[in-house]
Structure 1
């Protein structure tokens, strides 16, 4: 059956199987053939629902909880799957737990290549997610933008991928998209010339550790009184 799969579909199935407990691609393939028939195509996978996945092949996957099944289904639909870059070509992330870096903020960087900020919000391949404090920079996650589900607004979907961040660094973002990003709780920063993300994060680290401008102080959660002090300090030393 494998010779009937396109490389894209084979990748989706492999990643989806990895997202399911005690499931290898062969087991998942059996379920998909039962649910969809052959050939298995991106169009068929795009129409698949959790209920059908759970019922197929005599309920082979019925004991797996819905959260795992939803995650696998998203991968089967191509959400979070990037055909252009393998996992090996992407930079390594660093472990992070909440509270590891007191006073830090989280930044999403729109990227298409390696660790460069070179993507537009609405079309970038992935978001590099950095945690930055006044003393440390960590790349804590890489989130593929993937393919937007048919029923969702693209900009809302992408904003949702990074809604735990406080800043968005991007080469470009349109007005309507920026409004949706702001509603998700992020402050968008346009960098038309892009740049190496790690270098820009080091610059941000230095600003956090010295005298952040009021807009950044607000993002960092500094109270209004302290933000006024920052503004006064800027005027004094201008």
Structure 2
């Protein structure tokens, strides 16, 4: 599955979804994790809030899961409607540690939301 992390430094999850200028995209399975690319979402000339959110979502459209430090209720609903599962992480959680925790969940007894994502991953449709 593909996971986008809202980050300013490529190391920590430290950005609000709507304010993030870029997202780090990783391919993650129970056994492996690899950096894929940085997704640019730096267009800041969009005044309309709904259009801005739609733009941010389009920049992470490949992702199955989004980790960010904060996300508003409207954005969260729009992200979910795009078949991306938003997860709010702790402020400055490390990306590598977040991936490790997710892998531990996958190897153990994954919650239903995570099992659903594993089985419906956009990557499986490619």
Shorter-chain TM-score range: 0.7 to 0.9
Gap runs ≥5 in structure 1: 1-104, 223-238
> Which one has a larger percent strand, Structure 1 or Structure 2?
2
The counterpart of 1:180, out of the listed 78, 86, 107, is 78
Greater than 2 Å deviation, 4+ residue runs: 148-152
Counterpart for residue 10 of structure 1: none
Q: How many matched pairs?
A: 118
Asked which structure has the greater CA Rg, the reply is 1
Question: Is the 1:148–1:157 contact (alpha carbons within 8 Å) kept by the matching residues of 2?
Answer: no
Q: TM-score, normalised by structure 2?
A: 0.86
Gap runs ≥5 in structure 2: 121-126
Counterpart for residue 25 of structure 2: 129
Question: Is the 1:170–1:194 contact (alpha carbons within 8 Å) kept by the matching residues of 2?
Answer: no
Q: Pairwise CA RMSD of aligned residues?
A: 1.7
1:161 aligns with 2:70: no
> Which one has a larger percent helix, Structure 1 or Structure 2?
1
Deviation at 1:193, TM superposition (A): 2.3
How far, CA to CA, are the matches of 1:126 and 1:195 in structure 2? 17
How far, CA to CA, are the matches of 2:38 and 2:11 in structure 1? 10
Deviation sequence 1:130-176 (CA, Å, 0-9, x none): 11111101111111211145487111100011111110100000001
How far, CA to CA, are the matches of 1:192 and 1:205 in structure 2? 18
- The higher relative CO (CA closer than 8 Å, separation ≥ 6) is in 2
Question: Is the 2:10–2:24 contact (alpha carbons within 8 Å) kept by the matching residues of 1?
Answer: no
Q: TM-score, normalised by structure 1?
A: 0.47
